Structure 1
Amino acid sequence: MRFSVFGTGFWSNYQIPAWQELDGVELVAVYNRTRSRAEDVAARFGVPRVFDNPQQLLDAETLDFVDIITDVDTHPLFTRMAAERGIGVICQKPMAPSLPLAEEMVQVCRTAGVPLFIHENFRWQAPIRALKQALDSGVIGQPFKARVSFCSGFPVFDNQPFLAELERFILTDIGSHVLDVCRFLFGEARSLYCLTRRVNPTIQGEDVANVFMEMESGLHCYAEMSYASILEKESFPQTLVLVEGERGSLHLTYDFVLKTTTRQGTTAETIRPVLYDWLDPDYAVVHSSIVDCNRDILHGLRGGRAETTGEDNLRTVRLVWASYQSAEHQELVRF
């Protein structure tokens, strides 16, 4: 399948080699508004053609899909441009800068009859998949309470400085991932209540968010996010999860250790990500999951079932914006 990448910033350095781990795909062109950056990435990864005009690229190339890795404000426009030409769309999270625009993107692709997938890779991290498998095995019985945590002091603004300028930051950035993990593990939410605050005075948006949800199963789920946490042990970029069930608990803790505790005792297993030679060790568990996410999306592009469709991710987007609504009005939001 022939495809193009839109956007050659930070994440393209990992998204592109992740595609190159898979058979049956060919990256034929890249677009970036700053041509020199596109040329650098094309040279590094052996991409034959470079464009600084997205319309020219779409008119010149025969494509099966585009992978959009540009700033979130451009996602609706580029999605529409591809969909109107009958080209499938993969888009990085967050899907859009607002809930109505995300809904519009889904509708545009539905009307055009083209597939839309969101590159939501956190649920594809090896430790998260192992936790889900353990949950589904029934080893701890019916789960009733969970905490999903992404709290860090990692200097994320150093390699992604644009994040400091976002008026809405942690819920759209990490919250898109964390709330999707909650859905993947525990199903849909019945209600939520959210509190946010900004600790770092040099950024525009919130860098702390705490979301308490009641899931449709009755499980109570607490999702906590922070980029202002100075802790004894830095966990970035790991998502830590504790699930309590009627017969025991599952604890995905530091360094990819999954602990299973029942009345018979505790067992522990280390679930390490695949260490590809192109990934950044600081982001290993995230970068490795890109390959598995891409593989699943490729299966969907070929007509199979994929997990992170636009329609599925729209449910995560609704949680993100409901969290902002809850925090702004100090109210419980029901679904």
Structure 2
Amino acid sequence: MNFENVRWGIIGCGDVTEVKSGPAFQKVENSKLVAVMRRTGELAKDYAQRHNVPKWYDDAEALINDPDVNIIYIATPPGAHKEYTILAAQAGKPVYVEKPMARNFAECQDMISACKNAGVPLYVAYYRRGQARFLKIKELLEHNVIGDIRYVSTTQYQPASEEIVNSKQIPWRVQPELAGGGLFFDLGSHTLDILDYLLGPIKSVQGFASNQAGHYHAEDIVSATYRFESGVHGIGNWCFTAFEHVDVNEIIGSKGKITFSTFGNDPVVLIKDKGREEFSFEPPQHVHQPLVETIVKELTGDGCHCPSTGVSGARTSWVMDEIVKNFYRKEVK
């Protein structure tokens, strides 16, 4: 495809689109947000007025079939990603879909097939692949700064939120029928995807998932081990009912290590025998913007390719499915 201008339509203009993604479509060169949709029309109208968007809808198919829209951004819960991706593909329009890509790997495969058959690109909003801090880590690894990579470890835990503990209505992010799983799918997917980007695909994986606190039925603690196609080993632990926030990843090599967080803005730390070096980055005002720039450049024929595709996004969904499969087989279902 070679668009002169990329004209976005958003399905599901909720919180994630207010700052993280929506404004980015207006700020990237050769890009414009032209239509938004929410099931509640008044909310769609309000969003459109506040963000200077010309059109709003309360019907997804009407937005998809709007001739002024030539790419669809799907920002609904994952339970609707497959349906809307297929509809957009059938209309001949590229798709940019929120993460996780779908509720499970099988749905991801259906989405990939639909877009392939329609001849349209499929992108996934694992936006860290476009951000400077993670590009720096990739550069350090590609230049063999820490030698041969041996293994990677992830430790991420946080308290249960008041929204979850005290709410009468369980948030969709911990409803497996809408989200695919619990917060591991919502948050852990970001880490697993960026490790795929930095270290290559995971080839084999084993995991344990449990619900310890009983605030909802989805998993709230996950432990996993994995081996990458490159031979690198990995371990990960995620807990969503702990006493404090911790977010740390370590990539260990034969000559040093790199430490970084997935969600924080603390410096990337390089440690070698000769000492320690830190790399600091200002977070993007709109975290999607660097990745959106790669999509726009690709679609306008600027020689750039977006690093987050349906194929890469599906790999992360496969890994998560493998990690939690015994929990959902035995406990939830």
Assess, with a 3 A threshold, how the Cα gap between structure 1 residues 5 and 185 changes in structure 2: closer, same or farther.
same
Amino acid at match of 1:320: M
Return the offset for 1:154. Answer: 6.4
Post-superposition CA distance 1:237-266 (Å, at most 9, x none):
xx5221111111112256422222222122
Assess, with a 3 A threshold, how the Cα gap between structure 1 residues 217 and 106 changes in structure 2: closer, same or farther.
same
Q: Using the alignment, how far apart are the partners of 1:240 and 1:273 within structure 2?
A: 17
Aligned to 1:28: 34
Assess, with a 3 A threshold, how the Cα gap between structure 1 residues 271 and 85 changes in structure 2: closer, same or farther.
same
Aligned to 1:321: 321
Aligned to 1:300: 298
Return the offset for 1:268. Answer: 2.4
Q: Is the 8 A contact 2:70 2:93 kept in 1?
A: yes
Larger deviation: 178-187 or 249-258? 249-258
Q: Using the alignment, how far apart are the partners of 1:134 and 1:202 within structure 2?
A: 41
Assess, with a 3 A threshold, how the Cα gap between structure 1 residues 55 and 269 changes in structure 2: closer, same or farther.
closer
Larger deviation: 250-259 or 132-141? 250-259
Aligned to 2:79: 73
Return the offset for 1:128. Answer: 2.4
Higher-RCO chain (CA-CA 8 Å, sequence separation at least 6):
2
Post-superposition CA distance 1:190-228 (Å, at most 9, x none):
211111122332222112212211112221111222222
Match of 2:109 among 95, 103, 110: 103
Amino acid at match of 2:13: T
Q: Using the alignment, how far apart are the partners of 1:156 and 1:241 within structure 2?
A: 26
Larger deviation: 105-114 or 257-266? 257-266
Match of 1:250 among 258, 263, 267: 258
Q: Using the alignment, how far apart are the partners of 1:301 and 1:197 within structure 2?
A: 42
Question: Per the alignment, in what secondary structure is the counterpart of residue 289 of structure 1?
Answer: coil
Aligned to 2:137: 131
Amino acid at match of 2:278: A
Structure 2 residue 161 is matched with structure 1 residue 161: no
Return the offset for 1:78. Answer: 1.1
| Residue correspondence of structure 1 range 188-267 to structure 2 within 5 A | 188-231=201-244, 234-235=245-246, 239-252=247-260, 255-267=265-277
Assess, with a 3 A threshold, how the Cα gap between structure 1 residues 31 and 310 changes in structure 2: closer, same or farther.
same
Question: Per the alignment, in what secondary structure is the counterpart of residue 56 of structure 1?
Answer: helix
Aligned to 1:280: none
Structure 1, unaligned runs of 5 or more: 277-287, 331-335
Aligned to 1:179: 192
Structure 2, unaligned runs of 5 or more: 1-5
Assess, with a 3 A threshold, how the Cα gap between structure 1 residues 299 and 4 changes in structure 2: closer, same or farther.
same
Assess, with a 3 A threshold, how the Cα gap between structure 1 residues 27 and 271 changes in structure 2: closer, same or farther.
closer
Q: Quick one: percent identity of the two aligned structures? A: 24
Count of matched residue positions in the alignment of Structure 1 and Structure 2 = 313
Return the offset for 1:121. Answer: 1.4
Question: Per the alignment, in what secondary structure is the counterpart of residue 130 of structure 1?
Answer: helix
Q: Given the two structures, how large is their TM-score scaled by the length of structure 2?
A: 0.86
Question: Per the alignment, in what secondary structure is the counterpart of residue 15 of structure 2?
Answer: coil
| Residue correspondence of structure 1 range 3-152 to structure 2 within 5 A | 3-14=8-19, 15-152=21-158
Q: Using the alignment, how far apart are the partners of 1:262 and 1:59 within structure 2?
A: 55
Aligned to 1:281: none
- For the aligned residue pairs, the C-alpha RMSD in angstroms reads 2.3
Question: Per the alignment, in what secondary structure is the counterpart of residue 308 of structure 1?
Answer: coil
Q: Given the two structures, how large is their TM-score scaled by the length of structure 1?
A: 0.86
Q: Is the 8 A contact 2:30 2:296 kept in 1?
A: no
Amino acid at match of 2:294: D
Q: Using the alignment, how far apart are the partners of 1:55 and 1:12 within structure 2?
A: 19
Q: Is the 8 A contact 1:164 1:202 kept in 2?
A: no
Assess, with a 3 A threshold, how the Cα gap between structure 1 residues 267 and 44 changes in structure 2: closer, same or farther.
same
Q: Using the alignment, how far apart are the partners of 1:300 and 1:59 within structure 2?
A: 22
Post-superposition CA distance 1:137-191 (Å, at most 9, x none):
2111001021123322263846992223336213321232121111111112221
Return the offset for 1:327. Answer: 5.2
Q: Is the 8 A contact 2:210 2:327 kept in 1?
A: no
Return the offset for 1:34. Answer: 0.9
Q: Is the 8 A contact 1:8 1:30 kept in 2?
A: yes
